[in-house]
Structure 1
Amino acid sequence: MTLTACASEVTGTPAAGANTEAAATTTTEPAASGPPDQQIAQRGECVAGNDPAPVDCAKPHTVEITVAGTFGGAMPDEPPSRDAVFEAVFPTCRAEAAKYLGDERYDMTTLAAWLLWAGTDDWREGARWYRCGVARLGPDGRAVSHTGSMKDALAGNGSNKFRLCTKEPPSQPLPAPVACDQPHRSEAVAVIPMGDPRQPLPADEKFDRTARAECGDALRRYLGAARDDVTVAWHRPDKLNWRHGFNNLTCYAETKQPVTATLRGIGTAPLPS
């Protein structure tokens, strides 16, 4: 199963993280015309919707900023393509999201790295800012509004609170995330690093060989027992997402019928129907 990511085509909406195998790429339009650079949110501040100006993180917001950066001279005078922007800075956004959230395995949660940058008009006037951030994804792959900081949200056992469960099996296109206490067919159980985005994408055979060995072990640890009624599945990145920093396998527990509670530590008990 190939991992790609949800896409947003809404101008000014910051970008989404990865959770589907649809023929899409992790991308977004740049932000709408915004305030001067000094009025754009800095690290630890929050933004709401497509407005890059800071808002109080204690109030409803969609993205919490992890990196306040400026593009270097390698970028063109004309507004660059979305893929060029993501290839340039999204691996950094991904790495910083792991540090900020407190767990590099955040791809097995509904929390994701995010990116917004100077819009077309601002770019042509010389603006070169970008902002990495973290967001919580809703069922449609867009950032959902919430209150409070996500700093170290995944430290300790925090991943259990935000664990990614999906209504459809992970082998299906666009599996919709749902709360793990709602009927679902899969639960993300592990993330396995596979390399560096500056290196070539490994062959499918390497991904699958690693997944068959390590995802299977991860599933047994997650369940607390070996079971015939829960199978292992995994997502791997395509070439484009690999260059954007999605450099791991995500392993899933998959069931034939929906379950209504998490399978973590279930052992040999009956599945929650």
Structure 2
Amino acid sequence: MRSVLAALALALALSACTGEDPGGDEAPGGPSASSSETAPTAKRPRAPRQGACYRLRLDDALSPTTTRKPVPCRRRHTAQTFHVGRLDLKQRGRTRRVDAPAVQRQPARRCPARLPGFLSGSRDQLRLSMLTAVWFTPTLPDAEAGARWFRCDVVVLGRGGALVPLRIGLRGALADPDLRERFAMCATAAPGTKGFRRVPCGQRHSWRAVQTVDLPGRRYPPAPQMTARMDAPCTAAAQEYADDPLDYTWAEERPTRSQWRAGQHYGTCWVPQN
């Protein structure tokens, strides 16, 4: 729908710039347009600005394109642009469309890789937070007009997947103990139970993610193999977190097959929190 509306807006803009004079204001017998003159061409759309903030909804964040306008970061917003890169449309000697899978994979690789640096945190700190990257590319009409950018935004996921509203910028958030705690990954119930919902630790919760465990191999591992791999690290993390290292509880969360295919090759250790 956004692409259709953008195409309509671009078509209207171009029709207004053809140089024709529908009002007939030229005096009779006046000079006519020279054959050497050409109609103005559309300007290349501006690239997004790094550091800009936006008021996005969840459906916006899941879309490959967005036409939302930036808002001041001191006002209510849900996303901040942490990187603007350039798309390479030339693939194996061919010029691809901006919506081609090979082109869309470029921001899908680069945006998550750049997020820890923007947040001033480690990979594990990011995994144990509700901060995540989303990305956008130009609409097809904007790409045809010369746009070659891609935009990486950071958002905070809240209850039910809703985006958490903010009034601050997120640069360096994981280096700030208060913000790191506020946006850490917690849950409303134990993993695998009906009431399990991930939430930022700044919201009401009863469980907390305390450790991630890398799972080796390219193929999706059997459940017993993942459990055996996670047992020792999860036990150690639970003992460290507990008031009494002899009295502790923990639960594992293994990646699903779809998560594994999407690149999540690690499990998460959870502990109850009063």
Same fold, TM-score > 0.5, yes or no = yes
Q: 1:162 Cα shift?
A: 1.5
Match of 1:41 in 2: 48
CA distance in 2: counterparts of 1:242 and 1:31, whole angstroms = 34
Could you give the per-residue CA deviations for residues 110-154 of structure 1, whole angstroms, max 9, x where no partner exists? 211121222344345553422112111121213232111111111
CA distance in 1: counterparts of 2:266 and 2:253, whole angstroms = 10
Match of 1:231 in 2: 250
Q: Does 1:88 align with 2:82?
A: no
Q: Does 1:222 align with 2:236?
A: no
Amino acid at match of 2:264: F
Could you give the per-residue CA deviations for residues 144-179 of structure 1, whole angstroms, max 9, x where no partner exists? 321111111111534322222212322247942345
SS at match of 2:113: helix
Q: Does 1:112 align with 2:132?
A: yes
Q: Which structure dedicates a bigger proportion of its chain to helix? A: 2
CA distance in 2: counterparts of 1:249 and 1:106, whole angstroms = 14
Q: Does 1:140 align with 2:156?
A: no
- Could you tell me whether the CA contact under 8 Å between 1:106 and 1:159 is conserved in 2? no
CA distance in 1: counterparts of 2:54 and 2:134, whole angstroms = 12
Could you give the per-residue CA deviations for residues 27-72 of structure 1, whole angstroms, max 9, x where no partner exists? xxx9984997663423222222243544322222221112212221
Change (3 A) 1:178 1:242: closer
Q: 1:241 Cα shift?
A: 4.3
Identity of paired residues, percent? Answer: 22
CA distance in 2: counterparts of 1:115 and 1:173, whole angstroms = 31
Change (3 A) 1:107 1:148: same
Change (3 A) 1:207 1:192: same
| 5+ long unaligned stretches in structure 1 | 1-10, 13-29, 255-262, 264-271
Could you give the per-residue CA deviations for residues 214-269 of structure 1, whole angstroms, max 9, x where no partner exists? 1221222222433656322223264x545655343322124xxxxxxxx3xxxxxx
Larger radius of gyration: 2
Q: Does 1:151 align with 2:171?
A: yes
- Could you tell me whether the CA contact under 8 Å between 2:239 and 2:245 is conserved in 1? yes
Q: Does 1:187 align with 2:233?
A: no
SS at match of 1:230: coil
Change (3 A) 1:206 1:65: farther
CA distance in 2: counterparts of 1:120 and 1:172, whole angstroms = 43
* TM-score when normalising by structure 1: 0.65
Give the total of aligned pairs: 223
More divergent stretch after superposition (217-226 vs 109-118): 217-226
CA distance in 1: counterparts of 2:53 and 2:132, whole angstroms = 15
SS at match of 2:107: helix
CA distance in 1: counterparts of 2:221 and 2:198, whole angstroms = 28
CA distance in 2: counterparts of 1:200 and 1:114, whole angstroms = 25
Match of 2:73 in 1: 57
* TM-score when normalising by structure 2: 0.65
| RMSD over equivalenced CA pairs, Å | 3.6
Counterpart among 160, 174, 180 of residue 181 in structure 2: 160
